[in-house]
Amino acid sequence: MLNPLYNKASTLGPINRLGLVMMLGVMSSLALPPWHIIPLILPAFTGFIWFLILAEKSQNPLRASFTTGFCFGFGHFLLGIHWIIEPLLIDGSTHAWLIPFALIGLPAGLAIFIGITSFLTSFILRFYDFSVLGRILLFSIIWVFSEWVRGWFLSGFPWNLIGYVWADITEVMQVTAFIGIFGLSFITLLASTIPALLVSNFNWKKIVLVVFFSFIVPSILWTGGSNRLAGAPNYEEQDTGSMVQGVRLRIVQANIPQKDKWKPNLQTAHLLRHIKMSREDTPISPTHVIWPESAIPFLLEKNNSIQMMVASAAPEGGLLFTGSISQVRDEKSQFRNSLYVINPSGKIIDRYDKVRLVPFGEYMPLADWLPFDKIVPSEASFISGPTYRTMDLPGLPRLSPLICYEAIFPNLALKAGVRGEWLLNLTNDAWFGKFAGPQQHLAIASTRAIEHGVPMVRAANTGISAIVDPYGRKLLTLGLGEQGVLDSGLPKALPYATIYSRWQETIAIGLIGLVVLLLWYMGLLKRNRGLE
């Protein structure tokens, strides 16, 4: 006997069916930050699987499967990245006409990944006689693979991976230290799609599987994470042995609106604001001061007077970290987004150039074909830094620098070959608006701390600046739209590299393989095993 809900869905016309699938995609996005309505992923993905089953009964099942997946993906990304229009509102006279194209075009482009996921699932099922459970497992594997592809295809955009639905539950997120965010995405997909087994023939096998994967597995993750956190140092007690001795950080959040940031008549005032906030007297003086991405609106290395002004913000015997634009030598029209390290005498100790640039923001893909310029106001073009690396600086543990959205890439910090003992993320989230974008960015970036077992120090122009410990707990934060400083010690890294740091996505692949082998051995992936 068919499930009444599935039966009702089968009577809908094509337009109504696709409209409902799109709404399920919107529902799935509400489980992600900043909404965190996690239970919604159960009806969202269960309904999605049911509609895919219906699509395979149509006259053209492959086309119907792709269309169904595309509509779900469009709803999912339409809400999830609605903030994409925020950069276009900063200079409305130039970019406002692009709003409809960005609001529709980017979700549609990302929805293609979900459409292909559904298409491949339907295509493979034409050759293998899988049960509904086998279909669910196949779909989950292909979805995770598509998330991985999305992380590097056309420079990559691994935003709002489905594993981030747990971002607000630090206990569950602890598992990313072992299996990474892609492994957590796989477990999340299984947990949220397994109720689709209840499409027909309710029996004890199905009930057991649904209860186990949808409720017991997440509970196991929460329990394991709670035990891990119970044995973690208390980094909130700033003067304990859990902090790096002799290091006192000051993060400066000047809260400069993006529309004012590059106005020539305000640039000096913005710089002076950063300097003044850096030198404010506090009971414990900082040893290192950190400014956000592009805090200096000048070419630092081309202007000695500006360089000395900036140096006045560096603590005596310490260092100043700041974002600025650097010019490529012998290339007047090519620039890099850089992180500078400056001592009190004005000497540039080190510089890191951003490797992963923001498409359409810092550079233009297909520039010769598209009828508009990049969003960042500049007549020049940005180019990538030569390679990712760590930085060895006096008085500090080795650090891994990440500029802006470099922090959304799970294994970028591992490309240096040498483990950094803390992550330094300079960003300017004013581009992302005042709601969902910055909150999603912080949730995603904080996961890197758990995966690598190192703290993250985050300086954001308009928020959210934060000190995140190696377990992903936010010790201190400065909220959106606030002006102020965060004074904090530097949490120590875990004394060992996490399993994810050592093996990266190999662990997620192994987890998927283990689940496949277990269910195959139990005979639950074949038809006529009481699961139809």
8 A C-beta contact, residue 501 and residue 451: yes
From the list 86, 147, 171, 293, the catalytic residue is: 293
8 A C-beta contact, residue 353 and residue 326: yes
From the list 404, 406, 421, 451, the catalytic residue is: 404
Q: Catalytic site residue 354?
A: yes
The three-point CA angle 214-169-219 to 5° equals: 35
Three-state DSSP state, 1: coil
**What is the SS3 string spanning 195-242?**
HHHHHECCCHHHHHHHHHHHHHHHHHHHHHHHHHHHCCCCCCCCCCCC
Can you read off the two tokens belonging to residue 88? 């276009």
From the list 206, 261, 354, 492, the catalytic residue is: 354
Q: Catalytic site residue 404?
A: yes
8 A C-beta contact, residue 388 and residue 357: no
Which DSSP helix (H) or strand (E) runs through 23?
helix 14-29
Strands annotated E in 330-398? 334-342, 348-353, 381-382
Q: Catalytic site residue 71?
A: no
The three-point CA angle 115-448-313 to 5° equals: 125
Collect all residues with Cβ–Cβ distance below 8 Å to 161 and sequence separation of at least 6.
147, 181, 182, 185
Task: Give catalytic residue positions.
Answer: 293, 354, 404
